[in-house]
Structure 1
Amino acid sequence: MEFCKILFATFFLLLFSKSNAANSKLFREYIGAESDVKLSDVPIIDSSVEFHFILAFAIDYTDDKQPTNGKFNVFWETDNLGPKQIASIKDSNSNVKIAVSLGGDTVVGNNKAFFTPKSTESWVQNAVSSLSDMIQQYHIDGIDIDYEHFKASPEIFAECIGELIKSLKNSGTISFASIAPYDDDTVQSHYLELWRKYGHVIDYVNFQFYAYDKLSVSEFVSKFKEQASNYGGSQLLASFESGGGGGLNPNDGFFEACKELKEQEKLGGIFIWCADESQKSRFQYEKKSQDLLAA
């Protein structure tokens, strides 16, 4: 009887935390995919927000474009984003955490990075082993799932990724996990299956709203609520591409949309793709994002 009470209480707390995830002061930014940007190049890290740098990318491929069945390798530029630099930024800012994003769009040029497991068991074993070593070496706190191309069914993707997250969390290797879907039928089918089966071990949804065509403020808010419904109870983050692109750009009403979502207590945070592109605008949008979240 006592065990049942504890189990019920745990379930209630998990349910409560999921359904009350927004608003939050979480700011996240991808870094390392496009240039030799440094962590220290980002001039503003507001101590009142939780700040995540997301290293882009670790991919289970070799440098000569061969898939490795879950054996992940570093594909970001390590001279400026190495263990020493990561340890330094974390030592200087207690609110900074580091994630590593898995997969991405391409590997070595324009070759697509496919999710290609030989079997669920072998992929998970290889992924846990290779990522555990990488996470320890680079002082990483969490993982982000950003596969965009698939040679496996939604069911196999869900099982592989879900079991990977569970294993890394159960061992204490990571403290959080996120997913980064966007509005494409194939992509959504894979991530929604993952969410359906393993949403309880996923902490954040970095939905790529910049993958939409151009949006107005009202359209962005509507799309945000639609994805909040798809990923029910999630801590869903609003997003834009700092170098310009689709969705709702920061100069066209993004922050207005975020203020509206915040007033409705639906804003689970903000993330930016990416620090590499933000250099050109001197990281002004990073400051605006953090100011809005901290207010």
Structure 2
Amino acid sequence: MDFLSKGLLTFLFLLQTIQASPDTKLFREYIGAEFKGVTFSDVPISPSVDFHFILSFAIDYTTSDSPSPTNGQFNVFWDTDNLSPSQISSIKNNHPNVKVALSLGGDSIGNGYAYFNPSSIDSWVDNAVSSLTSIINQYNLDGIDVDYEHFQSDPETFAECIGRLLKVLKNKGVISFASIAPFDDEEVQSHYLALWRKYGHLIDYVNFQFYAYDEGTTVSQFLSYFDTQRSNYGGGKILASFISDGSGGLSPNNGFFSACATLKREGKFHGIFIWSADDSMSNGFRYEKRSQAFLASAR
């Protein structure tokens, strides 16, 4: 074998190694949905990870006592007393590795579900682009997460509305990244998979809610679920996840980090996200510390 051939083989091997070893320092955490007084500075932040706070939630509903859909006119529903624009600027200035996103939708509003309920695709997109651009600029945000969980539209309408929204916001430089947060439910998956098929190239991370599986999930079950979702969202950066109150899925005490180590060895690991900082206050953020230590030590 001549020198050039050996060099080419070496290059291809290194390229395969790089492709099989994705950046695995990403840590993401939802914050602000439960109004428990948690602040950004309460949460431990390792300088060795890429840290994303995800504000929960911005919802296209009115802020009245009986909230109703607004067709893409988003309002802020997170704990703004403790998670304000000035506090965002402060945490980002003090921690250059921190970025902040907002999440759209969520499970509920008031005493009912928060539905995705557009009047039309064009009007919803126009309203969403305008209202979200205003919020993102006011709060100095970096990205968007999509966490609608209830729908009064078909999957294709959802895909067009969200896909066009992400495309416009990215093209205008309003956001630098986007994620989606599906879970294993037939209606939910039908909507997000329709979005993924047409606009997956605009989605940087899949915050799959593995904690929506049954409490007591085993390591082997978790790994099986993970592979299923890697297949569903082919080519996507699927993040491993848990809920900090232990109410579902594979918990840190039952082998979550062992499962992550396996995913890392297999070249499937892209990072960790937690729901949520609000719940983690009661345990002193022990799992945030452990997650970031794992990410910082991962090779």
Normalising by structure 1, what TM-score? 0.92
Residue type of the alignment partner of 2:162:
I
Residue 22 of structure 1: how far off its partner (Å) = 3.3
1:117 matched to 2:130? The reply is no
Number of the residue aligned with 1:81: 83
Residue 268 of structure 1: how far off its partner (Å) = 1.0
* Ranges in structure 1 where 5+ consecutive residues have no aligned partner: 1-15
CA distance in 2, matches of 1:21, 1:89: 30
Aligned runs of 1:156-235 on 2, under 5 Å?
A: 156-214=157-215, 215-235=217-237
1:142 matched to 2:143? The reply is yes
1:61 matched to 2:56? The reply is no
Number of the residue aligned with 1:46: 46
1:206-264 CA-to-partner distances (Å, cap 9, x unmatched) read 00000011310111011111101110111110000001111101111111111111111
Q: Aligned to 1:251, what secondary structure does the other structure show?
A: helix
Number of the residue aligned with 1:26: 26
Q: Tell me if the contact between 2:21 and 2:267 (Cα under 8 Å) persists in the aligned partners.
A: no
How many correspondences in the alignment?
Answer: 276
- Cα–Cα, structure 1 residues 156 and 20, in superposed 2: closer, same or farther, change >3 Å? farther
Identity of paired residues, percent? 64
1:170-223 CA-to-partner distances (Å, cap 9, x unmatched) read 000000000000000000000000000000000000000000113101110111
1:141-190 CA-to-partner distances (Å, cap 9, x unmatched) read 00000000000000000000000000000000000000000000000000
Number of the residue aligned with 2:6: none
Larger Rg: 2
| Stretches (4+) displaced over 4 A | none
Residue 20 of structure 1: how far off its partner (Å) = 5.8
Normalising by structure 2, what TM-score? 0.90
Q: Aligned to 1:29, what secondary structure does the other structure show?
A: strand
1:290 matched to 2:281? The reply is no
Q: Aligned to 1:118, what secondary structure does the other structure show?
A: coil
Q: Tell me if the contact between 1:216 and 1:253 (Cα under 8 Å) persists in the aligned partners.
A: yes
Number of the residue aligned with 1:237: 239
Residue 63 of structure 1: how far off its partner (Å) = 1.7
CA distance in 2, matches of 1:20, 1:224: 17
1:97-130 CA-to-partner distances (Å, cap 9, x unmatched) read 000000000012x310000000000000000000
